Amino acid sequence: MNTEDTDDLEVGLGHHGIGRIVLPFCESFGPFKQVNAWRFGPTDALQLVDCGPPGEAAFAALSEALEGARLARFIASHAHWDHVGQAGRVCQLFDVPLEISGAEWSVFERQFRAFEPDLCAFLSHCGEGRRQSALLQAHTARMKIPGSAPDRVSVLEAATTTELAGLDWDVEVWSGHSVGAFVFACKDAPVVFVGDQLFTGVTPFVGVEITDPLADPLATQFAFLDRIASLPDHVICLPGHGSPFTRASVQAEGQRASLLRRLDRMADTVTSPVSCADLVRGLSPGAEAKRGYIVRLRATLGLLNHLCAIGTLVREDRGAGRGYGFARA
Ligand SMILES: [Zn+2]
């Protein structure tokens, strides 16, 4: 898709009262330099979906975009730090509750209390029982979102209808990239908000939450891709990063192929019984000291669990706090 196409899509969305607010990342983050917030409806009754990462650069950009606006609603697509980093501030400044799915709120609220026990249990599960305290020290602070919790929260449930920009939208909740992200499918116009479940050119993170290390997020992500692949080509998708796009089925098939390749590579890597942590350290020596180590464990466990679910691998509890091992079935 060229720039002109993208501009045309943004203009078309503008006619529906939908606009993209591009916010900067506070640090370089994988393939993305920016994150989207989306605005729906008129400035005097603005509905905002997402609010960017923590930090003053994103706050300044968001404040500028919202200058003079009265906020009627504030929704978080999911609770990853790059989408809810300003949530406490937005709720306070505009005196609105944060609307979020119940599953995402259970993850988000953990940010504001001690989640060390959850992280300990997760590290043990991965086979890091012995190195737990050093890892806890290295990674706990990195995983916390700075700032205060939203002071009011309202849970928005799946299978309901909600109004954005004067249009009716079906509320869907999908897990895969996170535990319960919103997808909003417009009933009155060919537009679907997909958030971080689907991008162009990049395969989103798919992995387990630290509180649910036995989950199979790839199964739900594949189900989501089936659902998206059924969208007509002209439907405009609103992503959490990057420009809006059409031809969702092409993106969905690209993501499915990429996830299947990752599964194949992981299946080939497991030749003898191994823990999740040993796999990650084997593939990337020194990974445990790096910032993204917990995220890599979560993604790897997602692949391993799915390979168990489809019968390629078996998982066994090695006992005595040594976590789980994975082996060929
Ligand atoms: Zn994101």
pLDDT of residue 1: 47
pLDDT of residue 162: 98
Would you call 7 exposed, middle or buried from its count of C-beta atoms within 10 A (0-12, 13-18, 19+)? Answer: exposed
* Structure tokens belonging to residue 111: 């940010």
Average pLDDT value for residue range 3-15: 84
Query: What mean pLDDT is reported for the chain?
Result: 93
pLDDT tier for residue 4 given thresholds of 50, 70 and 90: low
80 alpha carbon – ligand 1 mean position (Å): 7
Answer whether residue 146 shows pLDDT above 90.
no
Answer whether residue 49 shows pLDDT above 90.
yes
82 alpha carbon – ligand 1 mean position (Å): 5
130 alpha carbon – ligand 1 mean position (Å): 32
258 alpha carbon – ligand 1 mean position (Å): 18
Q: Is the separation of the CB atoms in 302 and 217 below 8 Å?
A: yes
**CA 66 to chain centroid:** 24
Place of tokens 């501030």: 89
Low-confidence winner among 24-28, 100-104, 246-250, 291-295 (lowest mean pLDDT)? 24-28
Structural domain spans, the chain: 3-268
Please enumerate in sequence order all residues whose Cβ is within 8 A of that of 129, keeping only pairs 6 or more positions apart, or say none. 123, 321, 322, 323
| pLDDT 10s digits, 160-181 | 999 999 999 999 999 999 999 9
* Structure tokens belonging to residue 287: 């990974």
162 alpha carbon – ligand 1 mean position (Å): 23
240 alpha carbon – ligand 1 mean position (Å): 6
3-268 belongs to which homologous superfamily? Answer: Ribonuclease Z/Hydroxyacylglutathione hydrolase-like (3.60.15.10)
203 alpha carbon – ligand 1 mean position (Å): 12
256 alpha carbon – ligand 1 mean position (Å): 19
| pLDDT 10s digits, 291-323 | 889 999 999 999 999 999 999 999 999 988 789
35 alpha carbon – ligand 1 mean position (Å): 6
pLDDT tier for residue 33 given thresholds of 50, 70 and 90: confident
91 alpha carbon – ligand 1 mean position (Å): 20
316 alpha carbon – ligand 1 mean position (Å): 33
pLDDT of residue 25: 83
The full DSSP string for 11-52 is HHHHHTTEEEEEEEEEEEETTEEEEEEEEES-GGGEEEE---
Average pLDDT value for residue range 120-130: 92
pLDDT of residue 137: 84
269 alpha carbon – ligand 1 mean position (Å): 29
49 alpha carbon – ligand 1 mean position (Å): 13
pLDDT of residue 28: 59
pLDDT of residue 22: 96
pLDDT of residue 34: 92
Answer whether residue 141 shows pLDDT above 90.
no
311 alpha carbon – ligand 1 mean position (Å): 31
pLDDT of residue 35: 95
Average pLDDT value for residue range 88-106: 96
Average pLDDT value for residue range 141-150: 81
238 alpha carbon – ligand 1 mean position (Å): 13
196 alpha carbon – ligand 1 mean position (Å): 6
Give the alpha-carbon dihedral of 17, 173, 49, 239, to 10 degrees.
-70
pLDDT of residue 61: 96
Neighbours of 89 (CB within 10 A): 17
Q: Please give the share of the chain, as a percent, with pLDDT higher than 70.
A: 97
108 alpha carbon – ligand 1 mean position (Å): 14
